[in-house]
Structure 1
Amino acid sequence: MIVHILNSVYGDSTGGRWSATLKTGELLTQRGHRVTLLIAPEDAGKVPDYAGTNIDVVTLRNSGHYDLIASWRARRLIRARKIDAVIAHSGRAIHMLKRAVPTGVPVIAFNHSHNIKRTLKADAFFCITPYMKQIVDAATGATKPAYVISNAVNVPPDELLVRPENPVFTVGAMARMAPNKGVSDLVEALGLLSREGVAFRAVIAGDGEVRAQLEARVAELGLQDRVSFPGWLRAEQKQAFFRDADVICFTSEWDVQPLVILESFAWGRALIGTDIDGPSSCYEDAKTALVVPPNDPFALAVALRRLHDDPVLRSTLATNARRQARGAYADEVIAELLDSHVSDLVARARGGEARRGA
């Protein structure tokens, strides 16, 4: 079933949520659907050039959750374009569009956060992790359709994975440098490795409010020549980052489903990840990652030392992770799930059905 989908985000149109909104539309058009991207005027400059694609962009000002004028204008847009389904990536978009849709047009909340309170007015839910689906089902009594649809990742071809010969053991991390991301734990773990005489280099990509503190701590530990902070990476820099790394560290104290996990898997790199709700549903200890407690630099250092000393384990984790990326997170896999579930929800809405989500 080919349908016309309104894909929208308001309020929080930054970072991973913004990227996921754009990716959702792009994947749906790959399956033949038509997509209208509805966004705030101030976000128009962040949209790629979609000329010649099956995506068009419409801007509409929205002042908040209770902007009735915005809902009235959205209703006219939905009727004029004969929209079949709405996918909304934020609470503000859900509130505006739920008031706007006519009978028979489902509003689907694409949940990117564990804070789902403002999304519960939706008719159905796409949840990026199994843990998030549990939260949604608990809140709704499992009376509305809810599906697990992960963030999507492009899996590079094998030839791009080749690393330079005999490099120094290289540790990578990529995160917004905020207190909950646990990057300070990684810095302390690297200090422990240094005191043990382990040869390594580390690349900690990203930026944020605690970056200056992290750089200062690296200097205190005497690691300036071994740890670099390149900031946010462009696409071509990301390739080199993942290709050159032996291990990627995900160190958050709480999080949802950071793309760095999926990208690490896609690039076939060994991962160390924290045991926290949401992200830990993506990996299994000693199979696709080494799992450590959050806020534990010593455990992180032990895991790093283990992977430094055991290239066979690094290779096993990497191989298993790449297989999982291909089977569960690859663009084409997520495109098929979006296509199937959107089409099913449109058919249900047209037939007036209301079944429990799978």
Structure 2
Amino acid sequence: MGSSDTNHKPRVCMIVQQRDVKGGIASVTNGYYGSSLEEKYDIRYVESYCDGSQFKKFIKVLKGLWEYRRILRDFKPELVHMHTSFGPSFYRLQPFLSMAKRRGVPVVDHCHGADFDTFYVNASEKKKRLVRKVFSKFDTVIVLSREWKEKFTPVVPKDRLVVVHNYCKPKTSEQLEGWLEDRFAKKQVVFLGEIGKRKGGFDFAVIILNTAKKLPGVRFVLCGDGAKEDVEKIKAEIEKKCSGIDVSFPGWVRDDAKDRVLVESSVFMLPSYHEGQPMSILDAMAYGLPIVSTEVGGIPQQVKNGVNGILTKSGDPLATAEAISSLLLDKDRYFATSRESLGIATEEYGFEAHAKKISEVYDSVLKK
């Protein structure tokens, strides 16, 4: 399906979330607009998901399918690139896949899911058959880490699985050096993400309390949101156990507000139970923040334990508190860990390296 015309830009249709959606998938896809990928490929974006009520989401996917139908007919893409997760996303995007395959258009799935056990391992045999059937239709499946490639082998043959790391846009070393003294003095711990069980929200109170015992004056900025019931329970537990400790909940932060909280914070915390390759960690590394997180998903490939952060077992809030305290009580270690964090972000997770891998996937599929 390629072309011998050197001026030809292969036509790609990308199925994405609305740009203001909260979470990691939109953070990834938003970086493609106006990027070097658009210099090499003629890309049309179709939004299939938005935040809001179930009715609003239903209308969004219907509009997306209508637009997608028009693009398949008029634009005639040579490749479709879908961004999916587990749960409702798996079902919502099946019509997009079927419509492309009926026209003989190859489809690349970019899987951002985290909880593979619930999605597949512990699912019913009927659902497992459905998952395998759907994934058999993808020409290539992009996963976020080597660990996820191994996890996916019961569903997708290894020769159709490709690892492409998420990316970040690192600050300069000069900027980091200007922040280090103030950050170490401020002792501010930041969290970015969904406030709920999967990302360790119900461990927050124990982490905060035990960090403050070792590090008086520490403050926590917990950015994000989640299911109303979960957020209320987590906030109530923190209020009950952590009286007198500086804890704030700014909600979801974007753009200037996100930049400000990452510049001003000292350590990034993510005590997750399940992950793919969290964009929030890469964002924090791009600002040179030391990372305290857990040994799940692709995190150990982002965070080199003892180098640019500290990893603990999930469900061990006391170890998380100890890790945060140890970084903020040792200035030399803190400075070294911060510099390593930015260095790894710059060398291994820059956008252009990510775009190059995506381009390699496209070219491989287009040549088939």
TM-score, normalization by structure 2: 0.78
Aligned: 1:32 with 2:30: no
Aligned to 1:61: 62
Q: For each residue in 1:214-258, what CA deviation from the matched residue of structure 2 results, as whole angstroms up to 9, or x when unmatched? A: 322232234455111111112111112111122111111112222
Aligned: 1:100 with 2:100: yes
Kindly state the Cα deviation for residue 19 of structure 1 after the two structures are TM-superposed.
3.4
Aligned to 1:208: 226
Contact 2:268–2:284 (8 Å) recurs in 1: yes
Q: Distance in 2 between matches of 1:330 and 1:143?
A: 26
Aligned: 1:192 with 2:207: no
Kindly state the Cα deviation for residue 143 of structure 1 after the two structures are TM-superposed.
4.0
Contact 2:82–2:108 (8 Å) recurs in 1: yes
Q: Distance in 1 between matches of 2:281 and 2:171?
A: 15
Q: For each residue in 1:126-164, what CA deviation from the matched residue of structure 2 results, as whole angstroms up to 9, or x when unmatched? A: 1122222222334223242x2211222222334543326
| Cα distance, 1:60–1:251 mapped onto 2, change above 3 Å | closer
Task: Write out aligned runs for 1:72-87 (5 A).
Answer: 77-87=71-81
Aligned to 1:353: none
| Cα distance, 1:149–1:309 mapped onto 2, change above 3 Å | same
Q: Give the match's secondary structure for 2:296.
A: coil
Q: For each residue in 1:10-39, what CA deviation from the matched residue of structure 2 results, as whole angstroms up to 9, or x when unmatched? A: 89x763223333434544544432111123
Task: Write out aligned runs for 1:162-201 (5 A).
Answer: 162-163=178-179, 165=182, 167-196=185-214, 198-201=216-219
| Cα distance, 1:236–1:60 mapped onto 2, change above 3 Å | closer
Q: Give the match's secondary structure for 1:269.
A: coil
| Cα distance, 1:221–1:342 mapped onto 2, change above 3 Å | same
Kindly state the Cα deviation for residue 77 of structure 1 after the two structures are TM-superposed.
3.3
Pick aligned residue for 1:140 from 156, 163, 184? 156
Q: Distance in 1 between matches of 2:191 and 2:151?
A: 29
Contact 1:153–1:262 (8 Å) recurs in 2: yes
Q: Distance in 2 between matches of 1:30 and 1:316?
A: 37
Q: Distance in 1 between matches of 2:358 and 2:80?
A: 12
Residue identity opposite 1:188 in structure 2: V
Pick aligned residue for 1:149 from 145, 164, 167? 164
Q: Give the match's secondary structure for 1:206.
A: strand
Aligned to 2:362: 342
Q: Distance in 2 between matches of 1:196 and 1:286?
A: 20
Contact 1:10–1:93 (8 Å) recurs in 2: no
Residue identity opposite 1:176 in structure 2: E
Q: Sequence identity, in percent?
A: 20
Kindly state the Cα deviation for residue 199 of structure 1 after the two structures are TM-superposed.
2.8
**Unmatched 5+ stretches in structure 2:** 1-5, 53-59, 85-89, 121-130
| Cα distance, 1:182–1:44 mapped onto 2, change above 3 Å | closer
Task: Write out aligned runs for 1:168-317 (5 A).
Answer: 168-196=186-214, 198-209=216-227, 210-317=230-337
Contact 2:196–2:202 (8 Å) recurs in 1: no
Aligned to 1:4: 11
| Cα distance, 1:25–1:148 mapped onto 2, change above 3 Å | farther
Q: Distance in 2 between matches of 1:60 and 1:302?
A: 45
Kindly state the Cα deviation for residue 291 of structure 1 after the two structures are TM-superposed.
0.7
| Cα distance, 1:222–1:78 mapped onto 2, change above 3 Å | closer
Aligned to 1:112: 112
| Cα distance, 1:135–1:194 mapped onto 2, change above 3 Å | closer
With 283-292 and 108-117 compared, the bigger mean Cα shift is at: 108-117
Work out the number of aligned pairs and report it.
Answer: 325
| Cα distance, 1:234–1:22 mapped onto 2, change above 3 Å | closer
Q: For each residue in 1:250-290, what CA deviation from the matched residue of structure 2 results, as whole angstroms up to 9, or x when unmatched? A: 11111222211101111111111111133233222102220
Kindly state the Cα deviation for residue 315 of structure 1 after the two structures are TM-superposed.
2.1
Aligned to 2:352: 332
| Cα distance, 1:102–1:121 mapped onto 2, change above 3 Å | closer
Kindly state the Cα deviation for residue 104 of structure 1 after the two structures are TM-superposed.
6.4
Aligned to 1:21: 29
Contact 2:291–2:308 (8 Å) recurs in 1: yes
Q: Give the match's secondary structure for 1:287.
A: coil
